[in-house]
């Protein structure tokens, strides 16, 4: 029961005008670019084909637009790690590992420790499947912290 969370580029309609109205500089390369049908995604960077501009994931994490997304995801997850329920040093993880794919279904809140573990596990053999399973489970119960006042 593999779930494909990646939003394919075919989902976007290039017959529509770009959401920035043709001025990506004016929108400050904010979230609009990450949803734009003219943006191509490649290994953590985004390239605007209309205007020939690229944005790397690193630059993106410094943008105000990203902080808005990040905050919204943390609020949704109750400001707790969805795996352990911890609330310290929270990160937002891209489930499909594509840092340009910010659809809410692709984002989850993890604490620094669980986040590091997830990434370590992903590098191991069979890790992707294990991580996907864990994420599917926490999803189903709607996040660790909210549903269970757990003791572990
Ligand atoms: Zn955690
Ligand atoms: Zn991550």
55, 105: one domain: no
Ligand 2: distance of its center to the CA of 113 in Å?
Answer: 11
Q: What is the pTM of this model?
A: 0.64
Q: Looking at the structure, do residues 89 and 134 belong to the same domain, yes or no? A: yes
Question: Among positive and negative, which fits the CA dihedral 118, 123, 107, 68?
Answer: positive
Q: Do 95 and 56 reside in the same domain of the chain?
A: no
Are 27 and 97 members of one domain?
A: no
Query: Which of 13, 93, 24, 90 is closest to 57 using CA atoms?
Result: 93
* Interstrand relation of 45-48 and 39-42 (parallel, antiparallel or unpaired): antiparallel
Query: What pLDDT was estimated at residue 5?
Result: 35
- In the reported structure, the alpha carbon of residue 92 is separated from the centroid of ligand 2 by a whole-number distance in angstroms of 7
Neighbours of ion ligand 2 (CB under 5 A): 93
101 C-alpha to ligand 2 centroid (Å): 12
At residue 138, the pLDDT reads 83
Which are the contacts of 98, defined by CB distance < 8 A and separation ≥ 6?
6, 41, 44, 106
Distance 132 CA to ligand 2 centre (A): 13
Q: Which ligand is nearest to the CA of 111?
A: 1
Are residues 41 and 77 part of one domain? Answer: no
Determine the structural domain holding residue 95 and report its residue range.
Answer: 67-146
Q: Ligand 2 centre from 64 Cα, in Å?
A: 19
Count CA atoms within 13 Å of residue 7 on its CB side: 19
Give me the residues of the chain with pLDDT under 50, please: 1-11, 28, 30, 145-152
């Amino acid at each position: 029961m593999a779930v494909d969370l990646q939003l394919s580029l075919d989902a976007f309609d290039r017959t529509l005008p770009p959401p920035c109205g043709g001025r990506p500089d004016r929108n400050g390369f904010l979230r609009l670019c990450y949803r734009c049908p003219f943006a191509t995604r490649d290994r953590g960077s985004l390239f605007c084909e209309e205007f020939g501009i690229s944005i790397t994931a690193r630059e993106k994490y410094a943008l105000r637009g990203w902080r808005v997304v990040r905050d919204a995801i943390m609020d949704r997850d109750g400001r707790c790690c969805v795996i352990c329920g911890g609330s310290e040093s929270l990160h937002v993880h891209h489930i499909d590992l594509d840092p340009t794919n910010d659809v809410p279904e692709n984002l989850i809140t993890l604490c620094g420790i669980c986040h590091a573990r997830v990434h370590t596990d992903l590098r191991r053999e069979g890790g992707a499947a294990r991580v996907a399973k864990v994420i599917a489970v926490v999803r189903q119960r709607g996040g660790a912290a909210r549903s269970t006042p757990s003791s572990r």
